[in-house]
Amino acid sequence: MPWNYIISRLAMFFVTIYIASTIVFFLPRISGQNPLEEKLLEEAARGGFLEDTQAMVEAFDEKYGFNKPVWEQYVKFMVDIVQFDLGRSIFNWPKTVNQLLAETILWTIALGLLTLIFAFIIGTLMGAILEWKRHKTFLMVLMSPILTLSAVPYYLFGLVLLLAFSFVWSIFPLFGGYSRGIAGWPDWSNWSFIGNVLWHATLPALSVVLVSLGGWAMGMRGMMVTTKGEDYMLQAEAKGLPDRVMFFRYGIRNAMLPQLTGLALQLGLIVSGLVLVEVVFSYPGVGGLLVQAIPRNDHAVIQGIVFVLALGTALATLILDLAYPLVDARIKYSQG
């Protein structure tokens, strides 16, 4: 792999991160509102005393440099971002955004990666088989509801699943990431706790997997059509290779490559789709944190979540782009 490809790809990654952090910095400042002032006023209204809120706001601004000119704040923000310091939440004071993210993001990443991998494997296999065994009608019959589902947002399907399997049939829990109120939980060395977590994760995962199957299957089917027409397939058939070998070694292996490119972009989509799925299922991930932060204008938390998720998606795209030639030896990077 030539160096200039790696360098240009890395440059792209940094431009993405730079744009993301700049957006994250400037957007909340458009409104010109001071969330701390609002919180203090709200507290004052509730508690019935209004002394010195202005002085407190000023002291806070002084301490964190919010009264300096914008460019100075921007430079400080960028320096902080490079050191991965995302500031403090106003409403969960004095927790830092990093602490809040650390509590929640593993739930989101685990759910996102698992659903992505399941959907990718099942969907790709389905698409390949669909093209390979064209005469099987039951596959076609199976495909139409799956394709219809692929046009529906995850969380709407999640709501329907929740209504059906939790409320009407009470098979799965109605909310949460694990059952609360049992002493000693969460305890990751306890098998029954892990079982409980999986039981809670089933419906959120199903709502993402079933919806995203269709896209993978259609993409794979399209690639399989082209692959089936290649000369090496004809040769494999002439050699009398068994169907299984032709399907896995010749068919899937070649047709799967463009699917891999879609993987990183899908990761971004799944992550932002998961935010709402988590809201629907009251799952303890980043989505719940975001929904708490939005009505309270907790800018630092919202900024932190957006930045971290953008960083994750960009990183995944980068890794996949760099790893691609390892998977497909035919690729040559002549120019970027």
* Residues within the interface to other proteins (CB under 8 A): 12, 15-16, 19-20, 23-24, 27-31, 33, 35, 148, 150-153, 155-156, 159-160, 162-163, 166-167, 174-175, 222, 225, 264-265, 268-269, 271-273, 275-276, 279-280, 290-291, 294-295, 297, 299, 302-303, 305-306, 309-310, 313-314, 317
User: Is 170 strand, coil or helix?
Assistant: coil
Residue in 179, 187, 173 with CA at minimum distance from that of residue 281: 173
Nearer to other proteins, 50 or 225 (CB): 225
Nearer to other proteins, 40 or 275 (CB): 275
Nearer to other proteins, 186 or 228 (CB): 228
Nearer to other proteins, 294 or 323 (CB): 294
- Burial class from Cβ neighbours inside 10 Å (0-12, 13-18, 19+) for residue 238 reads exposed
Q: Smallest distance, Å, CB 189 to other proteins?
A: 32
Nearer to other proteins, 27 or 75 (CB): 27
Q: Number of helices (H) and strands (E), helices first, in the chain?
A: 14, 0
Nearer to other proteins, 45 or 245 (CB): 45
Contact 228, 190 (CB under 8 A): no
CA–CA dist 324, 316 (Å, integer): 12
User: Is 175 strand, coil or helix?
Assistant: coil
CA–CA dist 198, 115 (Å, integer): 12
- End-to-end Cα separation, the chain, in angstroms: 11
Q: Smallest distance, Å, CB 151 to other proteins?
A: 4
For residue 199, which amino acid is it? W
Q: Smallest distance, Å, CB 168 to other proteins?
A: 8
Q: Smallest distance, Å, CB 125 to other proteins?
A: 21
Nearer to other proteins, 194 or 315 (CB): 315
Q: Supply the angle between the helices 154-161 and 191-228 in degrees, to the nearest 10.
A: 130
CA distances in angstroms from 283 to 107, 140, 168, 187, 308, listed in the order given: 8, 35, 20, 17, 19
CA–CA dist 234, 225 (Å, integer): 13
Q: Smallest distance, Å, CB 147 to other proteins?
A: 8
CA–CA dist 316, 304 (Å, integer): 18
Q: Smallest distance, Å, CB 187 to other proteins?
A: 27
Q: Smallest distance, Å, CB 262 to other proteins?
A: 12
For residue 31, which amino acid is it? S
Query: How many CB atoms within 10 Å of residue 38?
Result: 14
Nearer to other proteins, 24 or 126 (CB): 24
Q: Smallest distance, Å, CB 191 to other proteins?
A: 29
